[in-house]
Amino acid sequence: MVHSTGEKKNINEVIGIDPRRAQEIANDQTMKNVTYNGEMVYIEHVDQERGVATIHPLNEPNVKQTVSVQELTEE
């Protein structure tokens, strides 16, 4: 997909992560590169039914928020 700036984005940046993949990432022992609004985050919990995840910035584990998994990007 091409944005108005002419910059090409990969498909995950456009549609986000699906709930199943978010759960896989949350369960994986290996740290994955996941961002929310351009900031690296850790996925704590995924509610696949609702399509949301509880996340926190890597450097702020006490700053938790629940967001749509579609807003997360795996790089």
3 assigned to some structural domain: no
46 assigned to some structural domain: yes
Q: Structural domain tally of the chain?
A: 1
51 assigned to some structural domain: yes
Instruction: Give the residue with greater pLDDT, 5 vs 39.
Output: 39
Tell me the helix, strand and coil percentages in the chain, rounded to 5. Answer: 25, 35, 40
Query: Considering the entire predicted model, what is its pTM?
Result: 0.77
**Domain containing residue 35:** 11-74
- 65 by DSSP, 3-state: which? strand
Task: Tell me the per-residue pLDDT of 8-46, one tens digit each, with 9 for 90 and over.
Answer: 444 444 468 999 999 999 999 999 999 999 999 999 999
17 assigned to some structural domain: yes
Please, which residues have CB within 8 angstroms of residue 37's CB and are 6 or more apart in sequence? 71
Strands 72-74, 34-36: pairing is: antiparallel
Provide the pLDDT for residue 75: 87
67 assigned to some structural domain: yes
19 assigned to some structural domain: yes
56 assigned to some structural domain: yes
pLDDT at 4 over 50: no
2 assigned to some structural domain: no
pLDDT at 53 over 90: yes
